[in-house]
Amino acid sequence: MKKNFLIRNKFFIHLITIPILMSLIGLVFIFEASAIRAASSFGDSLHYMKYQAIWLFVGIMVLLFFSFFDYKKLYFFSFLSLSVTILLLLIVLIPGIGSQAGGARRWIDFGFFSVQPTELAKFSVIIYLSSWFINKEKRRFLSFITLVGFLVLLIILQPDMGTAIIVFLLSVILYYEAGMNIFNLAVLIPVAAGGFFLLIKAAPYRLNRLLAFFNPSADPQGITYHINQIFISLSQGGLLGQGFGSSRQKYLFLPEAHTDSIFAIIAEEYGFVGALILIGLYFIFIYKIYHLIRLAPDKQSKLIAVGAFAFFNLQIIINLAGMVGLFPLTGVPLPFLSYGGSNLLISFALIGMLLNIEKRVKV
């Protein structure tokens, strides 16, 4: 009995404390990386940090809610979530409603806060497919590909290729884990890869990102500026870093320093060792989710855990791979560290569900 309690308590501590610890670290670096931009744009160097702190508090409340909300009742909630997601993905495309930045229309501004519907799409896909795949039904593949294709299309129209890839891969992983026909995926994946390739060729900015990935030195002041500034941050960090607060790239040299590129600022100030510790924390967190997958009490809980596992893995891998030049930059945030309330809320909602599942685990 005592052993069972210790196992549960250890799982609980790691699963909650690591995300909260990393979110608090994120607050510090969000302030560091955004202070100058915030002061020039809003007259308040704490602007971005304040908003992220509010989102963190709300995220913890969301975590507590889902940790007590029975995941077996998610079927009806997931239908509502998916419906709201589709509605918001349509609304954000309407000029005058969807906020545009950097050539993309991805946010809906409600005044005091803004919402990114694509983040909700990741969450909705996980909980909806996890509930839907519990029971067998005919023609599931056709229904599945129609739904996923429609969601991916709406996301690409914004455009947001990075999130479209994540939503597609989340869906495929859940489809496979649910025990569906593997031969359908064998046909789907090459077709999808071809479709994404055509979309890249059709849009100049996507093609430029791909060219920048293959040749970072091609246009240092143009299409490869962002990745070159990231490389400068990483190289200046060295083994032990420049020291806390000593980043030079945060002085408006590095684009998206407080959002997608925050890892570069951390690596610049704490070097290879600091970056390695950060990746180690992610590894422990991901391993705890993997451990829960193995102990999941039923099919639905296992699918939810697999969805959460894929959600965090895909974002971490795509973001970090982009930082070191192993993958094109896509605008995918780094969980718990990058500025952005929508992604933080979704992350904590999934952690709450994992804690709810853990309560039912028999060890």
Contact 115, 342 (CB under 8 A): yes
Contact 82, 94 (CB under 8 A): no
71-85, 90-104, 106-120: lowest mean pLDDT where? 90-104
Q: Is 158 helix (H, G, I), strand (E, B) or coil?
A: coil
**Helix intervals (H) in the chain:** 2-42, 47-68, 74-91, 117-132, 140-156, 161-177, 182-202, 204-214, 225-237, 262-295, 299-323, 341-358
pLDDT tens digits for 168-219?
999 989 988 887 777 777 777 777 777 777 766 666 666 666 777 777 776 6
Residue 52 burial by Cβ neighbours in a 10 Å radius (0-12, 13-18, 19+):
buried
The reply to whether 50 falls in a domain is yes
**Model confidence over 18-67: pLDDT tens digits?**
999 999 999 999 998 888 888 888 888 888 999 999 999 999 999 999 99
DSSP 221-271: TTTTHHHHHHHHHHHHHTTT-S-TT--STTTTTSTTTTTTTHHHHHHHHHH
Cβ neighbors of 347 (< 8 A, separation 6 or more) are: 19, 59, 311, 312, 335, 336
Q: Flag whether 231 is in a domain.
A: yes
Answer whether residue 363 is part of any domain: no
Asked if residue 231 has pLDDT above 50, the reply is yes
272 vs 233, 267, 277, 293, CA distance in Å?
Answer: 11, 6, 9, 31
Q: In the predicted model, is pLDDT for residue 260 greater than 80? A: yes
Q: 260-285 in b/e burial notation, b at 16+ Cβ within 10 A?
A: bbbbbbbbbbbbeebbeebeebbeeb
Neighbours of 142 (CB within 10 A): 10
**pLDDT digit string, tens, across residues 311-358:** 999 999 999 998 988 888 887 899 999 998 889 999 999 999 999 998
d(CA 195, CA 165) in angstroms, rounded, equals 11
Tell me, rounded to whole angstroms, the distance of Cα 161 from its chain centroid: 13
Q: Is 203 or 266 the better-scoring residue by pLDDT? A: 266
> Do residues 172 and 188 lie in contact, with contact meaning Cβ atoms separated by under 8 Å?
yes
Identify the residue whose tokens are 């997931």.
78
Question: What pTM was computed for the model?
Answer: 0.89
User: Span 135-150, mean pLDDT?
Assistant: 77
pLDDT band at 11 (very low <50, low <70, confident <90, very high): low
Give residue 125's pLDDT: 94
* Whether residue 108 has pLDDT greater than 70: yes
pLDDT of residue 317: 94
Q: Which residues have C-beta within 8 Å of that of residue 150, sequence separation ≥ 6?
A: 86
Residue 272 clears pLDDT 80, i.e. is over it: yes
Assigned token pair, 310 = 């894929």
Q: Give the Cβ contact number of residue 136 at 10 Å.
A: 9
pLDDT at residue 320, rounded to an integer: 93
Domain coverage including residue 57: 2-358
108 forms beta bridges with: 98, 115
Q: Which of 91-105, 144-158, 258-272, 308-322 is least confident?
A: 91-105
Closest CA to 306 of 315, 296, 297, 316: 296
Q: Give me the pLDDT at residue 319, please.
A: 93
pLDDT band at 6 (very low <50, low <70, confident <90, very high): very low
Q: Which of 123-137, 162-176, 220-234 shows the lowest per-residue confidence on average (mean pLDDT)?
A: 220-234
Which amino acid type is present at position 175?
Y
The verdict on residue 218 lying in a domain is yes
What single letter denotes the amino acid at residue 198? L
Residue-level pLDDT at 247: 81
Q: Is residue 332 part of a domain?
A: yes
Query: For the residues 155-167, what does the mean pLDDT come to?
Result: 84
Mean pLDDT, the chain, as a whole number?
Answer: 83
Q: Give Cα 353 distance to the centre of its chain.
A: 17
Structure tokens at 326: 């192993």
Taking the C-alpha atoms of residue 3 and residue 130, their distance in angstroms, rounded to an integer, is: 31
Q: pLDDT at position 1, please?
A: 47
Instruction: Supply 38's token pair.
Output: 């915030």
| pLDDT above 70 (res 96) | no
Query: In the chain, how many domains are there?
Result: 1
**Percent of the chain with pLDDT strictly greater than 90:** 34
**Domain-located, residue 348:** yes
pLDDT value, residue 163: 87
The answer, yes or no, to whether the previous bond of 333 is cis (omega within 30 of 0) is no
For the ranges 32-41, 95-104, 242-251, 307-316, which has the lowest average pLDDT? 95-104
Q: How far is CA 279 from CA 137, 209, 251, 320, in A?
A: 41, 25, 25, 9
| 284-295 pLDDT per residue, tens | 999 999 999 998
Greater confidence (360 vs 308) lies with 308
| pLDDT at residue number 105 | 61
Q: How many Cβ atoms from other residues are within 10 Å of residue 107's Cβ?
A: 20
Copy the structure tokens of residue 82.
């998916």
Query: Whole-angstrom Cα distance, residue 12 to residue 83?
Result: 32
